[in-house]
Each structure stands twice: as C-alpha cells, then as structure tokens.
Amino acid sequence: MKPQISPLKASLKNFPLPLHRSSAPPSARSLAVLRTFPSLSPPPPKKKKKKSTLSFSNWRKTRFVTCQSGIFGQLESLRQEGFPVLQPLRRKDYSNCHLFELPIARSCALSSHFPSAMPMYQVKPYHAVNGSLCVELPTCMYRVPNIHSKNRGSAFSVGPAGHVQEEADPSLQALELRQEEILKRLYELKAAVDGLSKMIQTPDADFDMTNMIQASERILTTSAVDLDSMLGKDYGALKDIVINANPTLPPLSLLVLHSFLCEHYKILSTVHVHSSVKNVPENLLKCFGEQSKKQSRHEYQLGFTLIWKDVPKPQMKFSIQTMCPIEGEGNIARFLFSLFGQKYNAVSLTLIDSWIDMALFQLKEGSSKEKAAVLRSMNSALGRSPWLVGNELTAADIVAWCALQQSGSANSAPANVQKWMKSCENLASMNAALKFLK
C-alpha cells in the first residue's frame, strides 16, 4: 500500500486556472490508508476537439485514487460494488498502478475497506534501484512522510492512521491553529451581525445614534484620496470604469459627475457605440468633447468608457472578478461620487441617498403630484443650507439638478430652488451638461 505520487506538473500547467487555489487537503485519516489526489487530473480525454476542454468544476468533484496492483484483488471487489475503475495508466510513473475514480464522499468510505492493521506481505520498495531516487512532487499539496522509510523495522505495528497523527507536520499544526483562529473570528463577527440585525428589526430597541455616528466618524478620518484603496489592487494598468447607457435615456448626472471627476483626476474618456443600437445622436457621441489622446493609456489614472447600448437602465462594470455590475443611474452616481474621497457621517450619507432616490424616482419619473412634493421639500431644505445636504456640493445636488432639468419642471420651481439652480449652473461641469438637453 505504498502511495504513489507522480509528477503531473506538465498536465497541470496547461490548465487555465491555478490549481492550488481550490484544492482542499484531503483528510489526514484517509490519507494514511490511501493517498487520494483531489487535484490531480488524468490527462484530458482526447475525444472530439470540441469536448476536450474538460470543465474545471466537473473534475474537481472526483478524487482519483491510485494504488499498487498488489491490492488490486481487494479493489476488484470494490469495482463489483459499482466504483468506476479507470484504465491502468500507461505512463511510466503509473506502470503498476490502477486509477480509481471515486466521488469525494465515497473516497472516505473506501478507507474502511482497508483495515488499518491488516497483515500483509512486505512490499519491496518500488524505487529501490539506487536507494535515493528523487521523485518530483507536485507543489500543490503538502508533503506526507514516507511510510516505508520509517516503517521498515516494525512494519504495520502501528496503524497508519495513528502514525500520521503522531508525527504531524508542524506546518500542519500551524495551519490548524490558523484555521481555528479564523473560525473564532468568524463566530465573533456572526454574533456581532446577529446583534445588529436584531437592533434593526426591532425599531424601539434602544441604541445610541450619536455613538454610532461618532464611531463612523472615527473610522472615516483618513480622507486622503487614494484611488488604489478605493478601486482595488493595482496591476500596473489603466483602471477602466465601463458604463453602458441607453442613448434614448442619457444618464445626465453621470456625464456631469464625469466632468467633475476630470477636474480631480487624469481621466481617459472614450465613447463607443454598441452594435445593438443604431443612429446615436451626434451630441451624445461627442459628449466628452474632443479628447486629446496624446498620452498612452497607462499614463492616465482612470479610464471612463461610455458605451451607448440597448440596456433598460444604466449599468456600470468595473472589476468583473471582484465586483458585480452596478445598475441604475442613482447607484452609479453614488459610486462615482465616492471616488472624490469625501467622507460624510451617517446622517449626511442617508440624506444624500434619500435625495438621490427622490430625484430619480419621484422628480424624474413620478407623477406631477410627486414632483410638486419633491420641489416643496427641496425648497425648504435649500432655505436652510446653500446645498441640499450641508454646505458643500454633493451627489444629491448633481442628481437632483439633472433630474429637474430632464423633468421639464425647472421653470416652475420655487424661489430657493431657482437660486440653487443658478449656483449649480455657475459650475462649468454642470453648465456643459445643458447642451445635452436640447
């Protein structure tokens, strides 16, 4: 019962995804009896060209068990039970091995078929020709001590399972410790989240709002604008924000936010037309003006790619691996505004969010009654402060102003709103957006 480890590096290399990421170590117990290979694959079947791309997730569900033909008789009985037996492999490394394909669940069950202290005849070392034969091991798995070299004197006097546990690798122990630590932290987090959700679900729970705001302010003290920290790891290439928008409903606020962003960062802006739409108006094609693209792409801090496409609502894609697409003009506006790096407390943030939703769902798309109501509340808010939220321009002002322009009720707005609109239009970025309305 000597474990066979074979260099399958060559075949592993060809796989598009790195293997070490998803291979979980098999349990130590089943290892002692049989060596299971969760991440080794047989050479991809050479069937039709079309089907040769073996799906990664499919073969991960099976383990491949190799064992010497000495115990083949016992495995034969397994086969009668219905385990699929693959062909004996023809490669040199496998010369007297049989490959069994077992579902993960059953590979553990297999270990019970081999009584750990079963008396067997001594098997001569397989590679005994030169004594020290160097076997190239795949690096994707941890090492297991060689059973033969240590067991030669008292062969099988100790159950193999116990044997491995006794001499557990220190790195394995460290790993175990780390896992426990992580689990502990996870439990703590879970408890915290549970507590929070209880608080939210019971409205009259006594929680101190001011405490929370203070806490959030403490966290948000670092207001340095760091694109890397906001947009994820830098791979030395342009960070490209892709926005899909329908030319029949141009997302005005995003265009305004884009020109604000241009004042902050060096941005490479491009406009494309997707093949799903035709006849995009000229002013939308030139919505970023004439860009001088003298520098090469990677010298820009940020890419802004606008694609006019047949989509029901605006959609933003940034990192397709770590982020799902963001949908809706308001949500994209929130994301883009966060790139300015300004930090607000929880109350302001909530107010901004609520103004954005109000502007988009009531002012822009709502009935005339809803529009009037929003205008009234805007009027009273603008009576208290120069901008909708606090003393600074926020995403709320931008989205609300754009919605107001697009709703067509800009002229009938009350006095404070009119004053606010004037100050909005004094900003070059917003003024420039007026040309899309015609």
Partner 1 sequence: MPSASRQNQEKPREIMEAAEDYAKERYGISSMIQSQEKPDRILVRVKDLTVQKADEVVWVRARIHTSRAKGKQCFLVLRQQQFNVQALVAVGDHASKQMVKFAANINKESIVDVEGVVRKVNQKIGSCTQQDVELHVQRIYVISLAEPRLPLQLEDAVRPEVEGEEEGRATVNQDTRLDNRVIDLRTSTSQAIFRLQSGICYLFRETLIHKGFVEIQTPKIISAASEGGANVFTVSYFKSNAYLAQSPQLYKQMCICADFEKVFCIGPVFRAEDSNTHRHLTEFVGLDIEMAFNYHYHEVVDEIADTLVQIFKGLQERFQTEIQTVNKQFPCEPFKFLEPTLRLEYREALALLREAGVEMGDEEDLSTPNEKLLGRLVKEKYDTDFYILDKYPLAVRPFYTMPDPRNPKQSNSYDMFMRGEEILSGAQRIHDPQLLTERALHHGIDLEKIKAYIDSFRFGAPPHAGGGIGLERVTMLYLGLHNVRQTSMFPRDPKRLTP
User: Which residues contact partner 1 by CB under 8 A?
Assistant: 14, 16-18, 21, 49-50, 233, 235-238, 240, 242, 244, 270, 272-276, 296-298, 305, 307, 309, 317, 319-322
- Distance, CA of 86 to CA of 395 (rounded, Å): 62
Report the residue number, 297 or 435, with the smaller CB distance to partner 1: 297
* Shortest distance in whole angstroms from residue 84 CB to partner 1: 19
* Shortest distance in whole angstroms from residue 24 CB to partner 1: 17
Q: Residue 56, SS3?
A: helix
Q: How many CA atoms lie within 13 A of 22 on its CB side?
A: 13
Q: Residue 259, SS3?
A: helix
Report the residue number, 200 or 237, with the smaller CB distance to partner 1: 237
Q: Are 402 and 388 in contact (CB under 8 A)?
A: no
- Distance, CA of 298 to CA of 326 (rounded, Å): 25
* Shortest distance in whole angstroms from residue 262 CB to partner 1: 20
- Distance, CA of 252 to CA of 255 (rounded, Å): 5
- Distance, CA of 153 to CA of 246 (rounded, Å): 78
* Shortest distance in whole angstroms from residue 75 CB to partner 1: 30
Q: N- to C-terminal Cα distance for the chain?
A: 81
* Shortest distance in whole angstroms from residue 42 CB to partner 1: 18
Report the residue number, 98 or 309, with the smaller CB distance to partner 1: 309
* Shortest distance in whole angstroms from residue 82 CB to partner 1: 22
Closest-CA residue to 247 (of 270, 291, 279, 275):
279
Report the residue number, 202 or 276, with the smaller CB distance to partner 1: 276
Report the residue number, 82 or 236, with the smaller CB distance to partner 1: 236
Report the residue number, 11 or 77, with the smaller CB distance to partner 1: 11
- Distance, CA of 371 to CA of 405 (rounded, Å): 12
160-167: which pairs have CB atoms within 8 A and are 24 or more residues apart?
160/1, 160/32, 160/33, 160/116, 161/28, 161/29, 161/32, 161/33, 161/116, 162/116, 163/32, 164/28, 164/31, 164/32, 165/28
- Distance, CA of 400 to CA of 402 (rounded, Å): 5
Report the residue number, 50 or 384, with the smaller CB distance to partner 1: 50
* Shortest distance in whole angstroms from residue 322 CB to partner 1: 8
Report the residue number, 31 or 306, with the smaller CB distance to partner 1: 306
* Shortest distance in whole angstroms from residue 63 CB to partner 1: 22
Q: Are 298 and 236 in contact (CB under 8 A)?
A: yes
* Shortest distance in whole angstroms from residue 254 CB to partner 1: 17
Report the residue number, 309 or 364, with the smaller CB distance to partner 1: 309
Q: Are 12 and 140 in contact (CB under 8 A)?
A: yes
